[in-house]
C-alpha cells in the first residue's frame, strides 16, 4: 500500500446540484438539494457547486441555504459572464464559510457566435467579469465553455487574461464530451507549459460522457497536472451525463499504484449518497454501472463463484465495504423488533427520529406479512418512500383493480382527502392508467405527468416494485416515490405522494421554472 499522505491532492468538485440537476427531468426539491449537499459535505467533497443562482428564485434560495449550512466544503455558485449574474451569485454564496464564484463563457467559434462577440470583445468581457468576481470574492473559478473545441492559441490568451484578472481555478470543460484521454492530457500539459502564471492556479477538468470517456478523460487530465476533477454522483448530468464521482475516486484509490493521488472523500459514504441521488432525481442507476450498480460486485448479485468463495480477490478488485455496501443477506423477518430495525437501518446509513421509526416500522411489518425474506434493498426502498405525516393530506384508503386481456380495465378507489372519504370508479388504458384516473377524479389538479418509472427492488415474483413519478403544475415540479409488492398499488401511492408534495408547494408559492439558459445573448 502506498503512503498516500505524501501524494498530491486532487480536489473533488461535485456539480450534482448544478450540472446534474439541470439535466432535463432531474429537478430536485429545495429540501432534497439541502439533504444532498449535507451528504456531500459530510463525505469530504472539497467543493460543492450548489446551483446557478440567477437561474430562478428556487436556485438562489437553495444555494443561499446550502452556503449557510456548509461545514467543511467550499460552496460555489455558477454565473454567466455578466455583472448581474456574478452579483446574484455572490449574494447567494457569501453566506458560506468558504464561498466561491464560478463564472464562464463559451469560447469556441460556435459558442462565440451566440453573443456575436469578436475574439477581442470576448477577451475584454472575460477581463471585466473575472475582475468583478474577484473584487467580491477571493476564490474565483473561470471556465472557457467548450474549451476542447476552442482554438488553442485563443485558449492560451483567454486563460492568461482570466489568471491575470484574479481567477484562482481555471476549469477546462469538455462541454460536449468530444475529447479523448490523450488529447485531454495534452491540453492540460500545453496550458501549463504555455500560459504565463499557469503554475500559480489550479487547473480543473470537467468532462461529459457523450463518448463514454468522461472518467478516462478526467484521470488523463490529472496525470498531466490538473488538480481538480468536476463530477457528479452516479454521473448524473445532461445527455450522457458528467464524470461520475464514484468512478474517479475509486479509480485513484484502487489503482493508487499507477495514479498516486489522494482525495479527501470517504468512499464508504458512496453507496448511501448514490441511492439518495437516484431517488431524488428519479434517475435510477443502471444495474451494471461501475461502482454503484446493483451488479457491480459479483457476489452482491448472488453469483457465488467457486473461486470467490475460496478467495474474494479472485474476482474482486475492491471490497463492497469500501464503498459502503453491506453484504446482502436476509436481514429481517416478521418477528424482528423495532430496535433491530433501527440498528439495521443505522448500518445502512439512516438515522431515524422516533416518529419516523414508528412509520417505517408499521410499513416494515406490513411488508413482512406479504414477503417472507426482507433484504437490505427492501429496507432501503421503505426508507425511500418514508412520508411526512404532517404533509399527507391525501391518503389511500383502499383500491381494487380489474384488468386482463378482455374488457375494460377498471379501478375502484377510496381516498381520504383532508379527513373526508371520497370514492370513485374509473376505466383506463391499463390498470395503472385506470387508478391514476381515479386520483384525478378525486383530487382536482392540472399537473402533467412527466415521468413514470418502475423498478423491481430484488429478484423474485414477490419483489417490491418501486415507482417514481414526476409531475409539473404551473412551473412547480414535484416527485413522488412508493414501494409495494403490488406494482399498481405502488404506482397509485407514488402518484399520491407527489400530489401531497404539490399541495405543499402550492401553499408555499414560487416555481422551479428556469428562464435562464447558459447562452449569453448580449
Ligand atoms: O459543460 C460545461 O461547459 C459546463 C460549464 C458551465 C462549466 O458545465
Ligand atoms: Zn458541464
In this structure, are 266 and 349 located in the same domain?
no
**234-248, 471-485, 502-516 — which is least confidently predicted?**
502-516
Domain that holds residue 319: 297-324
Point out the ligand nearest to the CA of residue 102.
1
Question: Which helix (H) or strand (E) is 343 found in, with range?
Answer: helix 338-347
- Own/partner pairs for 383-389, CB < 8 Å, 24+ apart? 383/345, 383/348, 383/350, 384/275, 384/279, 384/466, 384/481, 384/483, 385/466, 385/481, 385/482, 385/483, 385/493, 385/494, 385/497, 386/356, 386/359, 386/360, 387/359, 387/497, 387/500, 389/355, 389/359
Point out the ligand nearest to the CA of residue 242.
2
- Does 143 contact ligand 1 (Cβ within 6 A)? yes
Percent of the chain's residues with pLDDT above 70:
91
What pLDDT was estimated at residue 301?
A: 39
Give distance in angstroms: CA of 490 to centre of ligand 2. Answer: 35
Which atom of ligand 1 is nearest the CA belonging to 145? 3
Higher model confidence: residue 131 or residue 473? Answer: 131
What pLDDT was estimated at residue 303?
A: 46
293-303 per-position pLDDT tens digit: 988 885 543 44
Which atom of ligand 1 is nearest the CA belonging to 18? 8
> Measuring CA to CA, how many Å separate 340 from each of 140, 265, 331, 358, 377?
49, 30, 10, 13, 16
- Does 206 contact ligand 1 (Cβ within 6 A)? yes
What pLDDT was estimated at residue 316?
A: 79
pLDDT band at 383 (very low <50, low <70, confident <90, very high): confident
pLDDT band at 369 (very low <50, low <70, confident <90, very high): confident
pLDDT value at 306 more than 60: no
pLDDT value at 490 more than 50: yes
List, in sequence order, every residue forming a beta bridge with 452; answer none if it has no partner: 469
List, in sequence order, every residue forming a beta bridge with 221; answer none if it has no partner: none
pLDDT band at 519 (very low <50, low <70, confident <90, very high): low
User: Considering the domain boundaries, does residue 315 fall inside one?
Assistant: yes
Phi-psi region of 197 (alpha: psi -120 to 50; beta: other; left: phi over 0): left
Task: Write out the three cell numbers for 366.
Answer: 406490513
User: Considering the domain boundaries, does residue 166 fall inside one?
Assistant: yes
In this structure, are 316 and 342 located in the same domain?
no
In this structure, are 380 and 401 located in the same domain?
no
Entry pTM: 0.84
Q: Among 248, 281, 314, which residue terminates a domain? A: 281
What pLDDT was estimated at residue 295?
A: 83
Percent of the chain's residues with pLDDT above 90:
63
In this structure, are 159 and 181 located in the same domain?
yes
Nearest CA to ligand 1 atom 2: 175
In this structure, are 225 and 104 located in the same domain?
yes
Higher model confidence: residue 152 or residue 115? Answer: 152
In this structure, are 333 and 316 located in the same domain?
no
Which atom of ligand 1 is nearest the CA belonging to 104? 6
How many helices and strands (H and E) does the chain possess? 16, 16
Alpha carbons within 13 angstroms on the beta-carbon side of residue 342 total 12
301 backbone dihedrals φ, ψ, rounded to 5°: -90, 10
CB-CB contact of 159 with 190 (8 Å): no
Residue range 122-130: average pLDDT? Answer: 98
Give distance in angstroms: CA of 120 to centre of ligand 2. Answer: 25
Q: Which of 15, 107, 173, 229 to mutate to test the pocket of ligand 1 (most atoms within 8 A of CB)?
A: 173
Higher model confidence: residue 88 or residue 457? Answer: 88
- Of the candidates 439, 497, 393, which has an alpha carbon nearest to the alpha carbon of residue 29? 497
d(C-alpha 394, C-alpha 422), whole Å:
10
Q: Which of 52, 101, 175, 176 to mutate to test the pocket of ligand 1 (most atoms within 8 A of CB)?
A: 175
- Of the candidates 432, 437, 430, which has an alpha carbon nearest to the alpha carbon of residue 415? 437
Number of domains in the chain: 4
- Does 173 contact ligand 1 (Cβ within 6 A)? yes
In this structure, are 349 and 267 located in the same domain?
no
In this structure, are 215 and 358 located in the same domain?
no
Give distance in angstroms: CA of 229 to centre of ligand 2. Answer: 12
CATH number of the structural domain spanning residue 431: 3.30.160.270
pLDDT value at 491 more than 80: yes
In this structure, are 61 and 120 located in the same domain?
yes
CB atoms inside a 10 Å sphere around CB 269: 18
Q: Among 368, 386, 404, which residue terminates a domain? A: 386
Residue range 435-457: average pLDDT? Answer: 90
d(C-alpha 257, C-alpha 239), whole Å:
33
In this structure, are 97 and 201 located in the same domain?
yes
17-76 per-position pLDDT tens digit: 999 998 877 878 888 899 999 999 999 999 999 999 999 998 999 999 999 999 999 999
What pLDDT was estimated at residue 133?
A: 98
Contacts of 286 (CB under 8 A, 6+ apart): 293
What pLDDT was estimated at residue 388?
A: 62
User: Considering the domain boundaries, does residue 287 fall inside one?
Assistant: no
**Mean pLDDT taken over the chain:** 90
User: Considering the domain boundaries, does residue 182 fall inside one?
Assistant: yes
Nearest CA to ligand 1 atom 8: 19
Amino acid at each position: 500500500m502506498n503512503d498516500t499522505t505524501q501524494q498530491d491532492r486532487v480536489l473533488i468538485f461535485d456539480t450534482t446540484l448544478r450540472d446534474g440537476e439541470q439535466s432535463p427531468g432531474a429537478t430536485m426539491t429545495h429540501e432534497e438539494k439541502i439533504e444532498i449537499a449535507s451528504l456531500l459535505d459530510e463525505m469530504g467533497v472539497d467543493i460543492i457547486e450548489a446551483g446557478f443562482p440567477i437561474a430562478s428564485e428556487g436556485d438562489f434560495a437553495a444555494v443561499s441555504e446550502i452556503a449557510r449550512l456548509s461545514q467543511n466544503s467550499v460552496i460555489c455558485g455558477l454565473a454567466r459572464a455578466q455583472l448581474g449574474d456574478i452579483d446574484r451569485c455572490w449574494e447567494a454564496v457569501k453566506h458560506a464559510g468558504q464561498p466561491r464564484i464560478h463564472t464562464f463563457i463559451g469560447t469556441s467559434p460556435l459558442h462565440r457566435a451566440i453573443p456575436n462577440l469578436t475574439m477581442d470583445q470576448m477577451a475584454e468581457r472575460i477581463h471585466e467579469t473575472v475582475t468583478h468576481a474577484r473584487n467580491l470574492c477571493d476564490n474565483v473559478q473561470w471556465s472557457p465553455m467548450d474549451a476542447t473545441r476552442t482554438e488553442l492559441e485563443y485558449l492560451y490568451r483567454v486563460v492568461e487574461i482570466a489568471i491575470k484578472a484574479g481567477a484562482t481555478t481555471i476549469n477546462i470543460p469538455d462541454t460536449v464530451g468530444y475529447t479523448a484521454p490523450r488529447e485531454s492530457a495534452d491540453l492540460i500539459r500545453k496550458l501549463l507549459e504555455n500560459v504565463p502564471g499557469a503554475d500559480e492556479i489550479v487547473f480543473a477538468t470537467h468532462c461529459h460522457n457523450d463518448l463514454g470517456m468522461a472518467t478516462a478523460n478526467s484521470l488523463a487530465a490529472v496525470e498531466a497536472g490538473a488538480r481538480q476533477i468536476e463530477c457528479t454522483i452516479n454521473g448524473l448530468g445532461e445527455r450522457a451525463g458528467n464524470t461520475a464521482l464514484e468512478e474517479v475516486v475509486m479509480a485513484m484509490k484502487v489503482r493508487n499504484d499507477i495514479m498516486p493521488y489522494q482525495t479527501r472523500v470517504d468512499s464508504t459514504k458512496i453507496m448511501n449518497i448514490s441511492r439518495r441521488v437516484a431517488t431524488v432525481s428519479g434517475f435510477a442507476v443502471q444495474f451494471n454501472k461501475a461502482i454503484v450498480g446493483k451488479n457491480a460486485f459479483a457476489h452482491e448479485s448472488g453469483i457465488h463463484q467457486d473461486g470467490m468463495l475460496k478467495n474474494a480477490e479472485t474476482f474482486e478488485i475492491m471490497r463492497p465495504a469500501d464503498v459502503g455496501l453491506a453484504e446482502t443477506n436476509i436481514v429481517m423477518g416478521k418477528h424482528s423488533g423495532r430496535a433491530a430495525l433501527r440498528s439495521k437501518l443505522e448500518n445502512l446509513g439512516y438515522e431515524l427520529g422516533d416518529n419516523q421509526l414508528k412509520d417505517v416500522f408499521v410499513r416494515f411489518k406490513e411488508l413482512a406479512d406479504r414477503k417472507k425474506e426482507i433484504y437490505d434493498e427492501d429496507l432501503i426502498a421503505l426508507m425511500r418512500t418514508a412520508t411526512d405525516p404532517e404533509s399527507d393530506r391525501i391518503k389511500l384508503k383502499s383500491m381494487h383493480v380489474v384488468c386482463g386481456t378482455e374488457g375494460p380495465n377498471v379501478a375502484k378507489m377510496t381516498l381520504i382527502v383532508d379527513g373526508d372519504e371520497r370514492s370513485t370508479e374509473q376505466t383506463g388504458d391499463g390498470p395503472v392508467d385506470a387508478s391514476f384516473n381515479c386520483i384525478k377524479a378525486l383530487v382536482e389538479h392540472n399537473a402533467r405527468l412527466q415521468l413514470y418509472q418502475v423498478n423491481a427492488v430484488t429478484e423474485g415474483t414477490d419483489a417490491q416494485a418501486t415507482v417514481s413519478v414526476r409531475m409539473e403544475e404551473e412551473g412547480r415540479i414535484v416527485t413522488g416515490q412508493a414501494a409495494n409488492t403490488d406494482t399498481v398499488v405502488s404506482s397509485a401511492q407514488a402518484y399520491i405522494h407527489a400530489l401531497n408534495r404539490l399541495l405543499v408547494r402550492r401553499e408555499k408559492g414560487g416555481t422551479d421554472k428556469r428562464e435562464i439558459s447558459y447562452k449569453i445573448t448580449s
